[in-house]
Amino acid sequence: MKLKRVTAILLATVMSFSLLAGCGSSKKEEAPAKDTTEESGDAQTAEKEEESKADTDAGSESAAGGEKTVIRVTKWGDDKPAAENTLVEEFNASQDAIEIQLDVVPGDGYGDRLTTSFSSGDGYDIFLSGEGDFYKWVDLGMVEPLDDLIAADTDWQNPMGESVMDMGVVDGSQRYLVKDYNPICLWYNKDMFDAAGVDYPSESWTWDDLYEAAKKLTTKNENGEFETFGFQAQSWNYAVDTYLESLGFSYVSEDYSTAEGYLNSQGVADALDTYFGWTEGDDRISPNAADTDTYGDGTAMMINNKLAMFITGGWAKTGLEDAGVNYATALVPGNHAAYFCASGYAISSSCKNKEAAWEVLKLLTGERASELRAQNEAAFPTAESQLQAVVDSLSDDQKALLQSLDYSVPPIGMRGKVGSQVNQVLGEVVERIVYHDADTMTILNDALEASKQK
Amino acid sequence: MAGKGRSGKVQSRENRNGYLFVMPWILGFFLFTLLPMVFSAILSLCEWDIVTGLSTIEFVGLENFTSMFKDPKFWQSLKVTFKFCLITIPCYQIASLFVAFLLAMDIKGMKIFRVVYFLPSIIPTIAATMIWTRIFAQDGILNKSLSVIGIKGPAWLTDRNTALYALMIMGLWGVGNTIIIYLSGLQGVSEELKEAARVDGAKGWQIFFKITVPMISPTIFFNVVMAVIGSFQYFTQAYVMTEGGPMQSTLFYNLYLYQKAYKEYQMGYASAMAWVMFIIIMLFTMLVIKSSSFWVYYQNDDKL
Amino acid sequence: MNRSKKINHRIASILATLLLLGGAVVIMIPLLWTICMALKPASEMYTDNFFPKELAWGNFYEAVTSIDFFLYLKNTLMIVIPNLVGTVVSSAIVAYGFSRFDFKGKRVWFLILLATMMLPSQVTMIPTYLIYRQIGWVNTVLPLVVPAFFGGGAFNIFLVRQFMSGIPKDFDEAARIDGAGPFKIFARVLVPMCRPVMTAVGIFTFMGTWNDFNGPLIYLYDSKKYTLSLGLAFFKGLYTSKWNLMMAATVLVMLPVLILFFIAQDYIIDGIAISSGTKG
């Protein structure tokens, strides 16, 4: 009986505490009567949209001002201030209708932040995504189609070229506006080529030529330990896939409808065997995973004159230049087809004020944004007008970066549902091939089956 | 157990005072802990993509559990975790007790040693990861030292046969906390008792096992229980260093659970996994608690 | 006999010192490496030389200026200090209840206490987030601070409880006879005796909160509220990482913990006087 009383006291305390806490927060939310329960997600009706401002994710102080529409934006970032910081500052100061709240998250935690904030069904209004996830978010129903907003906005002067705009199209509908993009190509260390007396990569190079050159560029010391490597055959899917594409292979059919007979074709299997064969044995020309643990990634190895060639994107530029490396870029051998990387902003489907969000989206990917990005970021800006400035700033040694744009193909993750499914199993494919878990053809067949389950 | 053979008045006072003092925790439990636990229990019977919001939770019954038991990765992660626990729980405890024993000695310069042995546990994970990756590299410090004594070490983290052991070795650097707890426990061991035994002609190791160990057995008990709870949930280092690879050789249970929840957005499946783990840990903890009556000695009648 | 004992003691000391010294060298390598990397220019990150060829002291300056280091430091302290106070005090109070009173249902409550640690936090993280969001605590430090005042976590309660159970109840009795109530016994008798373990709890709490990445990541949206652990992660970019700057910042971040521990260890060791004189 005593225990009952204790329990009663306990419950009373708990309840009063949560009430207290509730009051504490209600001063922010203005509407304590709107006792949203955990099922609030399905109550996203029109009437709620009217009070949208008060109901954005906790932490927004939107209701306090009453007039400004708050648009919450998130992106990943690093230690440098991004163009967005300036944009948002300028924008918020320039008008009274919309207030942008920008949350820059360290890359390591970005995924988790996004997941938790969306778990309530009421996350960020605008978020940044890498091209590899473009399809995934759409498939999960998290991304608002932009077509209607674009059609309604007759005044909008699209600063982007068609090909850049198309990077944000998923299943025939515009879902993202790309903020910047980065073609990948072949990077090489000129000093190492000079020292070994090997001709620089040329436009007519085939992968066989690359292999021959890499062999000459791979050296060992008197103890038989590797001193330099000719080319890095990375396990990074984009490098692997670029190799395949430039040989004319693809994991999926041209209309993106099936992977059957593509992913598990003999050609792909043989090519993968050749590629990963370069990282094996004492006569290898490429560092393997154990080597990169010792010497660092491709950029670090090239800085220390340990690596002559690798495939990467424009982000390598800063590191190489800071270290004073005498580098140059070249088109990928073969048919020059290469993946590009892109990142784009999307309006989330839970966003309650789409028109305002659209204004912000235009800002984040507009002319001024490109101008800011062109000044201090490695990727290419999306506005055509700004691209020229960047192009002009490229030295001859960097020109291939731009040229490879003409040959670029969308990464596998952007090629429809099938491509996205395949993309999710590629990591395992590479790992199993590298560790000789089974015959490559078997691995690819397994992967095909696994991709259908995704 | 409580209140046997006591007058009602004494018992009611014990109840009142007891609940008064544990009230902060009980309150906290109801406010912050209970609901999430119940929620995850419910989720284990549901399907939920997380990012699509609460409205998309769907009841699926035991489906998560049945598909889990058919999932080879689930079994692999269980295997990795059990292997890790079986080896590290005893090894780490013995090592930390030994070091704590040395650190408790009254020797000049001991203060510096204590700091040194505690140091590794304060390096932030993100920095430690980078360093350890290089220590374990093919030409890293570890293999260079091994080659001095004529052993050719493997590429620890990229070899599927050694990656798990590399993580175990690395874990030794993180036992600073356990050492401190043992150190504080060792402070309670009576010098007089040891002295008396010494007078009776007991040898050093006899004193250690007959007097020191029983006297710090409540501390050992604590550390073992916490090791069971902690080791089964080993996550961070595997997450940042190996991501479960190579070839799932370090796919720890909680890592797989995390991947399911936050990479594949299958919160229902992950919750089901979590509750299976809960039961496993509960079983092993109960085992330790039940066995404790044979080897843990309390000053007061404080048995659990 | 006395002499042989002395010799024995000396041999033991020398042996222990040698062992500890050997261990210390091994144990220091990762730390030493962190410091060396903090002093290297970016280009030397992956070169063979362990020690920097030239000391790049500028890394420290760059590390604290390229992120809002001092703002993050302030934010971190605003979370760490209340956590420290809350955890140390409330865990001792709760542990006292569990260790000294035979209340009804104690065993069950204690098992529940242990059970709260057994469910992987990965699955409770989101429900917990949703609760805090519901009461409007998201984007404030409250979710990271308030729970500390409600017992400060099962680990700490359990730890202090174990330690208290090692203290004979005779002390309580003696105080009770002198007319002390349960509060007075707690404050005057047990707290002083529990100083070593409470210090340990303090160190663990400090370290845990100081290095916590996930909590601030999920609850603190506004980058002006970020903590040092989030700040450190900014050096790790998506494609390129500034390891030397990160290491420099890491060294700076570790310093306070180091100093704190150096001071606090006296309190851990200090316990001898009280408990060993009385035990057994």
How many other C-beta atoms are found inside a 10 Å radius of the C-beta of residue A199? 9
Residue B18 — pLDDT band, cuts 50, 70, 90?
Answer: very high
B23 pLDDT band, cuts 50/70/90, is very high
C-alpha separations of B188 from A158, B108, C171, C197 in Å: 75, 21, 15, 11
Position C270 scores a pLDDT of 58
Nearest-CA distance A306 → chain B (Å): 14
Instruction: Look at residue A87 in the predicted model and tell me its pLDDT.
Output: 93
**Mean of pLDDT values over A258-265:** 93
What is residue A376's predicted lDDT score, i.e. its pLDDT?
Answer: 72
Instruction: Tell me which of A135 and C239 has the higher pLDDT.
Output: A135
Q: How far is A43 from chain B (nearest CA, A)?
A: 9
Q: According to the per-residue pLDDT averaged within each range, which of A280-294, A374-388, C94-108 is highest?
A: C94-108
pLDDT of A3 above 70: no
Is the per-residue pLDDT at A29 higher than 50? Answer: no
What is residue B123's predicted lDDT score, i.e. its pLDDT?
84
Chain A CB contacts of C136 below 8 Å: 21-22, 24-26, 28-29, 58
Of A79, A105, A119, the CB nearest to C130: A119
Per-residue pLDDT, B265: 92
Whether cis (ω within 30° of 0) applies to the bond prior to B246 is yes
C-beta of residue C141 within 8 angstroms of C-beta of residue C79: yes
Task: Return the residue of A nearest to C221 by Cα.
Answer: A103
Residue B9's identity, in one-letter code, is K
Taking residue A154's Cβ as centre, other Cβ atoms within 10 Å add up to 6
Dump the DSSP string for A210-278: HHHHHHHH-EE-TTS-EEEEEE-----HHHHHHHHHHTT--SS-TTSS--TTTTT-HHHHHHHHHHHHT
**Contact check, Cβ <8 Å, A24/C138:** no
Return the minimum-mean-pLDDT range out of A245-259, A270-284, B208-222.
Answer: B208-222
Set of chain B residues whose Cβ sits within 8 Å of the Cβ of C106: 1-2, 18
pLDDT of residue B114: 86
Percent residues over pLDDT 70 in chain B: 96
Among residues A270, A268, A275, A274, which one has the least CA distance to residue A250? A268
Give per-residue burial for A73-107: e unless 16+ CB within 10 Å, then b.
bbbbbbbeebbbbebbeebeeeeeebbbbbbbbbb
pLDDT band at B304 (very low <50, low <70, confident <90, very high): low
Query: CB–CB of C29 and B277 under 8 A?
Result: no
B27: part of which helix (H) or strand (E)? helix B8-28
Let me know how long chain B is: 304
Contacts of A396 (CB under 8 A, 6+ apart): none
Give the lowest-confidence range in A63-77, A226-240, A411-425: A63-77
Name, in order, each residue with C-beta under 8 angstroms of C197's C-beta and a sequence gap of 6 or more: B184, C159, C160, C163, C271
Residue A284 CB: number of other CB atoms within 10 A? Answer: 19
| Position with higher pLDDT, B41 vs A396 | B41
Rounded to an integer, what distance in angstroms lies between the CA atom of residue B300 and that of residue C66? 56
Cα→Cα distances C96→A75, A421, B30, B130, Å: 47, 56, 20, 42
Confidence of residue A6 (pLDDT cuts 50, 70, 90): very low
Question: Residue B184 pLDDT more than 90?
Answer: no
What's at C14, amino acid-wise? Answer: I
Query: In a 3-state reduction of DSSP, which class is residue A126?
Result: strand
Q: Do C233 and A109 touch (CB under 8 A)?
A: yes
Q: Measured between alpha carbons, how far is residue A62 from residues A52, A73, A215, A349, B13 in Å?
A: 10, 14, 62, 20, 51
CA distance B111 to B125: 25
What span, in angstroms and rounded, lies between the C-alpha atoms of A236 and A231?
Answer: 14
Query: Which residues of A are less than 8 Å from B56 in CB distance?
Result: 41, 121
Kindly list the partner chains of chain A, i.e. chains with 3 or more CB atom pairs below 8 Å. B, C
Distance CA C69, CA C252 (A): 10
- List of chain C residues whose C-beta atoms are within 8 Å of the C-beta of residue A28: 136
Structure confidence at residue A351 as a pLDDT band (50, 70, 90): very high
Residues A6 and C105: their CA atoms lie apart, in Å, by 11
Whether pLDDT at A11 is above 70: no
Q: How many CB atoms lie within 10 A of CB C259?
A: 11
Contact A123, A114 (CB under 8 A): yes
Going by C-alpha positions, the residue among A131, A128, A178 that lies closest to residue A414 is A131
In this predicted structure, the answer to whether residue A120 has a pLDDT above a threshold of 90 is no
Mutate to test the interface with A, among B9, B17, B33, B54 (most CBs of A within 10 A): B54
| β-bridge pairing A338-347 and A327-330 | unpaired
* Closest C-alpha to A302, from A243, A239, A234, A230: A230
CA distance C22 to C34: 20
Q: Which residues touch B303 (CB under 8 Å, ≥6 apart)?
A: B292, B293, B296
Q: Which of the residue ranges A4-8, A270-274, B292-296 would you say has the lowest mean pLDDT?
A: A4-8
The DSSP symbol for A61 reads -
Q: What is the CA radius of gyration of chain B?
A: 24
Residues 27-56 of B with CB under 8 A from C: 27-29, 31-33, 35-37, 39-40, 43, 50, 54
CA dihedral A13, A17, A20, A22 (to 10 degrees): -130
**CB contact burial C154-189 (16+ within 10 A = b; e otherwise):** bbbbbbbbbbbbbbbbebbeebeeeebebeebbeeb
- Residues of chain A contacting residue C61, judged by C-beta atoms under 8 Å apart: none
CA distance B247 to chain C (A): 23
Is the model's pLDDT at A93 over the cut of 90?
Answer: yes
Interface of C with A (CB under 8 A): 42-43, 45-47, 66-67, 104-105, 125-126, 129-130, 132-140, 213-214, 217-218, 221-223, 230, 233-240, 242, 245
Query: Does the pLDDT at position A56 exceed 80?
Result: no
pLDDT in tens, A180-210: 998 899 999 999 999 999 999 999 999 999 9
Q: Given the DSSP bridges, would you call strands A307-312 and A185-189 parallel, antiparallel or unpaired?
A: antiparallel
Whole-angstrom Cα distance, residue B126 to residue C231?
11
ipTM of the complex: 0.91
Q: Radius of gyration over alpha carbons of chain A, in Å?
A: 26
Taking contacts as CB-CB distances below 8 angstroms, the residues of chain A near B158 are: 288-290, 293
d(CA A375, CA B261) in angstroms, rounded, equals: 39
Q: Is the pLDDT of residue A125 over 90?
A: yes
- Structure tokens that stand for B286 in this block: 């109960």
Q: Which of C274, C213, C222, C244 is nearest to C61 (CA)?
A: C244
pLDDT at A391: 83
Q: How confident is the model at residue B302 (pLDDT cuts 50, 70, 90)?
A: low
Kindly state the average pLDDT of the residues B120-146: 85
DSSP secondary structure, chain C, as one string: -HHHHHHHHHHHHHHHHHHHHHHHHHHHHHHHHHHHHHTS-GGGTTSS-SS-SS--THHHHHHHHHTTHHHHHHHHHHHHHHHHHHHHHHHHHHHHHHHH---TTHHHHHHHHHHTTTS-HHHHHHHHHHHHHHTT-TTSSHHHHGGGGTTS-HHHHHHHHHHHHTS-THHHHHHHHTT--HHHIIIIIIHHHTHHHHHHHHHHHHHHHHH--HHHHHH--SGGG--HHHHHHTTB-SS-B-HHHHHHHHHHHHHHHHHHHHHHHHHHHHHHHHHHHH--
Q: What are phi and psi of C65, to 5 degrees?
A: -95, -25
What is the structure's pLDDT at A66? 58
- Report the C-alpha gap between C115 and C161 in whole angstroms: 16
Q: What is the mean pLDDT of residues A311-340?
A: 90
Q: Of the ranges A74-78, A80-84, A108-112, A225-229, which one carries the lowest mean pLDDT score?
A: A80-84
B27: closest chain A residue by CA: A14
Using DSSP's 3-state secondary structure scheme, residue A339 falls into: strand
Burial of A59 (0-12, 13-18, 19+ CB in 10 A): buried
pLDDT of chain C along its 280 residues, tens only? 566 767 777 888 888 889 888 888 888 888 888 899 899 888 787 777 788 888 889 999 988 998 999 999 999 999 999 999 999 999 999 999 999 999 999 999 999 999 999 999 999 999 999 999 999 999 999 999 999 999 999 999 999 998 888 888 888 899 999 998 999 999 999 998 888 889 999 999 999 999 999 999 999 999 899 999 999 999 887 777 788 898 999 999 988 888 888 888 888 775 443 343 333 3
Place of tokens 């090894």: B91
Q: Parallel, antiparallel, or unpaired: how do β-strands A69-77 and A98-106 relate?
A: parallel
- Asked if the model's pLDDT at residue A231 lies above 50, the reply is yes
Query: CA A4, A5, A10: angle at the middle one, nearest 5?
Result: 95
Structure tokens at A166: 């198309």
Q: Would you say residue A50 has pLDDT above 50?
A: no
pLDDT in tens, B67-78: 999 999 999 999
Facing C124 at nearest CB: one of B36, B109, B123: B36
Distance from CA of C188 to the nearest CA of B (A): 16
CB A119 within 8 A of CB A348: no
